[in-house]
């Protein structure tokens, strides 16, 4: 199994946050991954399914249903319906193993502490939205950030699973001014334009939280504003202990990096909506989001406020 990011809709930004390195992923042979390109018809691969179930039983041998019986049931289900259903225990194991094998993620040491929320029964956009809010609330944890993944309904031959347009649950809007400058996050100008066309009433400030755009097979696209509740969206002010002018910039960033544009594949079954969060590293915010030329681009401004010489890049 390999892992790649997948933009669920072309309206998503092309920015690839460093947080995506910590999205659950796997190595060949482990039975679970976050991927695109295979299984788009919702038909489960029985060979991947067997590989995954054998690994699950090898690492969790005390099961009420023996492996041979589980394999027979899986094969019969795929023969009949084109897919099979993971137990909650299998789903939890698959999500955790995916994070365990995320080789580029410094946080994967804590794979076994990943909180896995089984949201497969949620079908209506309002239900999905409520679960997304709950995900953020549990992840925020009153400031003690904890890793969480919410797994929604899979793709099946009979019905595709839900999707989210957003690449992260929390992102700031970007507005292009007449002079070409941008208020907010330049990486999200296009996404902001798209959701405004869909009816979003944009406040047009520097830190406006974008709505989540939920796409289900039975409903038209629906937009939901996330509550500006610090228990759901915790934002951290960026201050300097000795330079008040840095504090006066009014910078801030959200505390939870919840990747939402990658799909989880466990044992041949695709889960197209499986938002996941670990933790931010300070360098990701301070050395990328706030200073990259295609993001907030504040490097020169901050250097000037600190009285640094910016006449040379060497």
Q: Is the pTM of this model over 0.85?
A: yes
Write out pLDDT tens, residues 104-139. Answer: 888 888 899 999 999 999 999 999 999 999 999 999
Write out pLDDT tens, residues 16-37. Answer: 444 555 666 543 334 444 443 3
Burial classification of residue 226, based on how many CB atoms lie within 10 Å of its CB (0-12 exposed, 13-18 middle, 19 or more buried): middle
The Cβ of residue 101 has, within 10 Å, a number of other Cβ atoms equal to 21
Residue 258: which of 117, 109, 93 has the closest Cα? 117
Question: Cβ distance 256 to 234 under 8 Å?
Answer: yes
Question: Does 173 have pLDDT greater than 90?
Answer: yes
Any idea where the domains of the chain sit in the sequence? 18-170+258-280
Task: Give CA angle at 287 (286, 289), nearest 5°.
Answer: 70
HSE of 191, CA atoms in CB hemisphere, 13 A:
30
Write out pLDDT tens, residues 201-253. Answer: 999 999 999 999 999 999 889 999 999 999 999 999 999 999 999 999 999 99
Tell me which residues are annotated as active site.
105, 108, 279, 284
Domain 18-170+258-280: CATH class, spelled out:
alpha beta
> What is d(CA 114, CA 112) in angstroms, rounded to the nearest whole number?
6
pLDDT of residue 33: 47
Write out pLDDT tens, residues 179-202. Answer: 999 999 999 999 999 999 999 999
């Amino acid at each position: 199994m390999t892992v790649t990011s997948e933009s669920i809709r072309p309206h998503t930004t092309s920015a690839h946050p460093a947080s995506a390195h910590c999205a659950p992923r796997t190595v060949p042979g482990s039975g679970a991954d976050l991927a695109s390109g295979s299984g788009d018809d919702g038909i489960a691969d029985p060979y991947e399914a067997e590989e995954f179930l054998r690994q699950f039983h090898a690492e969790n041998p005390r099961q009420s249903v023996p492996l041979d019986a589980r394999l027979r049931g899986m094969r019969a289900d795929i023969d009949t319906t084109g897919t099979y259903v993971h137990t909650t225990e299998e789903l939890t194991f698959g999500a955790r193993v995916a994070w365990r094998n995320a080789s580029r993620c410094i946080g994967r040491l804590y794979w076994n502490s990943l909180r896995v929320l089984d949201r497969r029964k949620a079908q209506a956009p309002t239900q999905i939205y409520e679960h997304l809010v709950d995900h953020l609330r549990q992840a925020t944890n009153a400031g003690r950030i904890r890793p969480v993944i919410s797994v929604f309904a899979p793709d099946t031959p009979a019905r595709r699973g839900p999707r989210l347009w957003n690449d992260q649950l929390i992102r700031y809007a970007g507005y292009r001014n007449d002079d070409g400058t941008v208020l907010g996050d330049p990486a999200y100008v296009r996404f902001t334009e798209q959701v405004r066309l869909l009816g979003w009433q944009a406040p047009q400030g520097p830190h406006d939280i974008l709505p989540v755009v939920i796409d289900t097979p039975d409903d038209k696209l629906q937009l939901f504003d996330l509550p500006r509740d610090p228990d759901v969206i915790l934002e951290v002010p960026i201050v300097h202990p000795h330079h008040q002018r840095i504090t006066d910039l009014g910078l801030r960033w959200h505390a939870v990096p919840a990747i939402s544009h990658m799909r989880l594949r466990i044992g041949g079954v695709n889960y197209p909506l499986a938002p996941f969060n670990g933790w931010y590293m300070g360098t990701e915010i301070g050395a990328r989001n706030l200073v990259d030329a295609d993001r907030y681009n504040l490097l020169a401004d901050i250097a000037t406020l600190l009285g640094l010489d910016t006449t040379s890049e060497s």
